[in-house]
Structure 1
Amino acid sequence: MTESPGSDANAPSRNRKRFPGISSRSYEHPADRSALVALRKLSGFDTVFKTLSGLLPERSLRLLFLSDSVRVSDQQFAHLHAMLRDACYVLDLEKVPPMYVNQDPQPNAMCIGLDEPIIVVTTGLVELLDEEEMRAVVGHEVGHALSGHAVYRTILLFLTNLATKVAWIPLGNVAVMAIVTALREWFRKSELSADRAGLLVGQDLQASMRGLMKLAGGNHLHEMNVDAFLKQAEEYESGGDLRDSVLKILNLLPRSHPFTTVRAAELKKWAESRDYQRIMDGHYPRRDEDKDASVSDSFKDSAAHYADSVRTSKDPLMGLVRDIAGGAGDLGGKLRDTVFGTRPNGNDTNGASGSDGSESAGK
């Protein structure tokens, strides 16, 4: 049963800004936003989607959490209940969604549901994070709820489970996995959006960074360093050659979440942006303006984001894309040099000698 957040009972436990009427468009990642606006603008899409989703055991799912998890309230996990109401107050979410703690040592959280969202966090996550880190996670999940991500996340969970059941049918798994892959690509972008929502709720970048580091390295903060963690993201993006670029894509495809170092770098970049500062200053899109949101404008924003990503990326594959877009002359040579590390004079980066094709025997 959902609650209606009261302005007094929901007041933040410390002095943080509130964002009355804030639209999820204010914090959504450009690719996430354009995809969602386009889907919502399709005539009857939600109705058809939910009709086709009639087989989803949502009632069973809700009963499962009700019967085999702990429902957060002022009597159970009261500190999480306060954080949840606080997050809904800060983001001005009309109803406080039900929240459950599920026994699972794996740190995780999710926002699911077709009719109304519910939030689930695992005991592994509750035990791993401190209060401010957990506040960012709760804000992250409330951000999913405000953006309407729960419906698509539920579909993704259902189809992922379905894919394993039809794997034995010839070609049966191909169509399902194609949809799953597309949904995962969208959901990875939605996670970047929700990270931003978590920062708006917690308003503590260091707490958000610590939480992401703990997801990667466990509860060993004394052994970790935020700056060094962010350098990993830079090394991941810029290191290697085209072979590594392809491996990065293959590693990412089966995942529902972006890599934690990448999430940390993306969030820090956004926290230092003018867009974030404008929101903190009270200048942001309102929900009552959402009906006027232009699909074409969202796609333009998304295209501009990707163009900027290609322009500024240090990834070798993106460098090759820039060369192609710029009409580079010797693309074959550039491709050979990037993949095999060969130099224009015929020597490779591993010390192979050139003209006669012989190799040095260095170890």
Structure 2
Amino acid sequence: MSFPKTLLLGLKSEQFRHPLDLQATTALKQIPGVDLLVRNLLGALGEQYFYLENIASGVRVSEQQLPELHQLLVEAAKVLDVEAPQLYVRQHPVPNAYTFAMRGRQAFVVLHTSLIELLTPEETQAVIAHELGHLKCEHGVYLTLANLITLAVGQVPNWGTLVAQSLQAQMLEWLRCAEFSCDRAALLATQNPRTVMSVLMKLAGGSPTLSPQLNLDAFLEQARSYDDISDDALGEALKQLQTEQLSHPVPVLRAREIDRWASSQNYYDLLNPSKRCYSDKTNATGGWRNW
């Protein structure tokens, strides 16, 4: 770590989850049979398939293999008070990271090589912490369904249109809302809002050669310009049309949300031991429950 972090022992997801995530998750739970379908049918098959994929085509990170990445994982998990999942690195030209987690089974996180090459170590830790946020918030069942569909599209391109049409708008809305909570987890782990916002800027328009020239303050000003579009009905309608088929909120919006939350009383209280107030049900030793 570049500087000492506050360890958030006993941290509960309810203390940092974005309100939109809570609302969207509640709505998604009302869809009959989704939990049962993923857990009992897709879960076991998907877990075995992707485990074999990682073992066969990726590199498992450990103290002996890519130890610097392993240390970033261990540190982030310690700060967020979660058990560190397995971490794999896979060769891929598209910068990305994803998580697979089902209740009672070993969770794992995958990082693409192009993502690691794009980011600094601190920014890579922010991405890892973002994925840990999915585990902390127990997004597993719905995230697994989304990842299975997304990865199937990537591996069988001809299914792309069919899958995109069949993926319910409610699932996409949930995915976008869940990302806000995980960005907050990234901020809690790094405790540096500029690190998290820099990741989002690089994902929007960075490359290993362009990244040193990027200006974060200019990117935040760009985010404010995006907000200004909502001042009229047409602009708001166009924004809705632009984002309704996306699995993630647009990067400028995510950066703006982190910028705001980093200045909030909620964030300050979580980092200040004298201000943190956990319920009697909080397990002070930490631990976690994955899907």
Q: Does the 8 A contact of 2:7 with 2:80 survive in 1?
A: yes
Hey, what does 1:196 align to over in structure 2?
A: 184
Query: Could you say if the C-alpha distance between residues 42 and 260 of structure 1 is closer, same or farther in structure 2, counting changes exceeding 3 Å?
Result: closer
> Is the counterpart of residue 32 in structure 1 residue 25 in structure 2?
no
Given residue 75 of structure 2, which amino acid in structure 1 is its aligned partner? D
Q: Does the 8 A contact of 1:23 with 1:286 survive in 2?
A: no
> Is the counterpart of residue 76 in structure 1 residue 65 in structure 2?
yes
Hey, what does 1:288 align to over in structure 2?
A: 281
Q: Does the 8 A contact of 1:22 with 1:284 survive in 2?
A: no
Q: Does the 8 A contact of 1:72 with 1:100 survive in 2?
A: yes
Which structure has more relative contact order (CA 8 Å, sep 6+)? It is 2
Q: Quick one: percent identity of the two aligned structures? A: 36
Q: Indicate the SS of the match to 2:88.
A: strand
Query: Could you say if the C-alpha distance between residues 177 and 222 of structure 1 is closer, same or farther in structure 2, counting changes exceeding 3 Å?
Result: closer
> Is the counterpart of residue 223 in structure 1 residue 216 in structure 2?
no
Match of 1:259 among 250, 253, 256: 250
1:158 CA drift (Å): 2.7
Per-residue CA deviations over 1:304-340 (Å, capped at 9, x if unaligned) read xxxxxxxxxxxxxxxxxxxxxxxxxxxxxxxxxxxxx
Pairwise mapping of residues 1-363 of structure 1 onto structure 2 (< 5 A)?
14-36=3-25, 46=35, 49-53=38-42, 56-93=45-82, 95-114=83-102, 115-160=105-150, 161=152, 165=159, 176-178=166-168, 181-218=169-206, 219=208, 220-239=210-229, 241-282=232-273, 283-285=276-278, 288-289=281-282
TM-score if structure 2 supplies the norm length?
Answer: 0.83
Distance 2:86 2:43 in 1: 22
Consecutive unaligned residues of structure 1, counting only runs of 5 or more, are 1-11, 291-363
RMSD: 3.0
The structure with the largest alpha-carbon Rg is 1
Hey, what does 1:351 align to over in structure 2?
A: none
TM-score if structure 1 supplies the norm length?
Answer: 0.67
Q: Indicate the SS of the match to 1:19.
A: coil
Distance 2:280 2:45 in 1: 29
Q: Does the 8 A contact of 2:90 with 2:110 survive in 1?
A: yes
Given residue 17 of structure 1, which amino acid in structure 2 is its aligned partner? T
Consecutive unaligned residues of structure 2, counting only runs of 5 or more, are 284-291
1:42 CA drift (Å): 10
Per-residue CA deviations over 1:138-191 (Å, capped at 9, x if unaligned) read 1111111111123311101334548964967xxx986x332xx21111111111
1:133 CA drift (Å): 1.1
